[in-house]
Amino acid sequence: MKDCRQFYINGHWVAPQSADDLAVENPATEQIIAVISQGTRDDLNRAVAAAKKAFQEYSQTTREQRIALLEALLAVYEARYEEMACAISMEMGAPISFARSDQADCGRGHLKSALRALRDYPFEQSLGKTLVVREAIGVCGLITPWNWPINQIACKVAPALATGCTMILKPSEIAPLSAHLFAEMIHEAGFPPGVFNLVNGAGPLIGQGLAEHPDIDMVSFTGSTRAGVAVAKAAADSVKRVAQELGGKSPNLLLDDTDMEQAVTRGVAWCMENTGQSCNAPTRMLVPEQHYEQAVAIAAKAAAAVTVGLPHEEGSHIGPLSSRAQFDKVQHLIEIAIKEGARVVAGGLGKPEGFTTGHFVRPTVFADVNNRMTIAREEVFGPVLVMIPYRDEAEAIDIANDTLYGLAAYIQTGDPQRGQRIARRLRAGMVRINGASHGYNAPFGGYKQSGNGREWGEYGFEDYLEIKAING
């Protein structure tokens, strides 16, 4: 069992103020694999004081100095890449092949992207007789979730470091091992004491403490919309900047000119990836009514072909959900869907055959769904797809936009120009046409209750910068 009870504060691993331990579970085996400490306000205050002191010098470092530090961090990350993949696989159940190819790659990708942006970013520009300067906002509170753990850590920490900010990271207590390892990498790379600090703890205590703290200048939060609202309210009294990347219920519009076999099959695969635990997963498949039953049959076949397996096994399969609480939530929403009249065409309640231990769920597809059902409105965060028929293009767009969320949308069509036209009518921060990839340099974020601000690449710098006008 790994002992991760110490916090990283002011360049040192230090003991917490209290001895309130929390066990970390492997969701595939339900065995305890590590122990962390639950931080207190005293721990948080120590970290904030260290970051505030460090900001005085770190904010004045040159572009070249910060490039050198980030390059050193990238080199350490590359050297310890397999450790990161294994940590993520153990803490949140990602199959090891997927942890290597996708999960761990996010850390490397965001460090490279921040370096590319930093080399050319216009921190100063002349506007007539005014010099416009973009400078570090200050001490940042970073709150990250468990589903893509190093992704959300790196896409916040990298731009904060690149722009000259100092920070306190509060990772998810469900998946803290990758954060602990990342702190080791920061230390090994040689960042000055106090620039990066790590404190574990519960959201209502440490997360809220970060949002409320008068010496923290901005908070970047990724998680549920409910928790995001709480963070924003807690931050309001100190009028600090709050950047949020929240939930999603992304539509996947299959247009009548697409190849249904291909479009449905890959739509199922996209939904099931990471065991459905992605905020931008295309969980609502919108299908022309004349092709609906054909699409349902294809989806049922595709979902039945999705393999569930253990995280340590190589290959293309999905693992467990991250926790017992998440398993219970997904089961509850499946049960509600059945009671509201949705038709199960694949999966359903319970665990897959052969799995009695671990938080494994059955890849599930629902037909006969309308957009008013609970399963079409709420973010499930599991491998659950709903299929909704539509009459024409206008209705498809209406259904796609009829959601509290606006993180992502997907379009599958035989006519890319048609896809581009429809993309402009969708109220979502990111639209992928025919499976086009979303690169690390592209802005990531959403409309409506999916949050505000943007992360990734040069767009991720903006939340960490203040704008100053110097005249004369």
Q: How far apart are CA 165 and CA 375, in angstroms?
A: 41
CB 95 within 8 A of CB 272: no
Helix axes 104-120, 81-92, angle to 10 degrees: 130
**Residue 102 per-residue DSSP state:** I
Q: Is 227 helix (H, G, I), strand (E, B) or coil?
A: helix
Q: Which two tokens stand for residue 93?
A: 């159940």
Q: Which two tokens stand for residue 186?
A: 């920061």
Of the candidates 91, 173, 245, 379, the residue annotated as catalytic is: 245
Residue found by looking up tokens 């931080």 in the block: 39
CA-to-CA separations, 178 to 59, 164, 227, 337, in angstroms, rounded: 27, 23, 22, 35
Residue found by looking up tokens 């096994």 in the block: 313
Q: Which two tokens stand for residue 177?
A: 């091992």
Q: How far apart are CA 178 and CA 104, in angstroms?
A: 9
Sign of the torsion angle spanned by Cα atoms 239, 242, 247, 251: positive
CB 148 within 8 A of CB 278: yes
Residue found by looking up tokens 């761990």 in the block: 104
6: left (phi over 0), alpha (psi -120 to 50) or beta: beta
245 included as an active-site residue: yes
Listed residue (377, 376, 351, 353) closest to 366, CA to CA: 376
Helix axes 292-304, 260-272, angle to 10 degrees: 50
Of the candidates 140, 165, 279, 458, the residue annotated as catalytic is: 279
Q: How many CB atoms lie within 10 A of CB 353?
A: 7
Q: What is the DSSP annotation of 368-414?
A: S--TTSHHHHS---SSEEEEEEESSHHHHHHHHH-SSEESEEEEE-S
Which sequence positions are flagged as catalytic? 245, 279
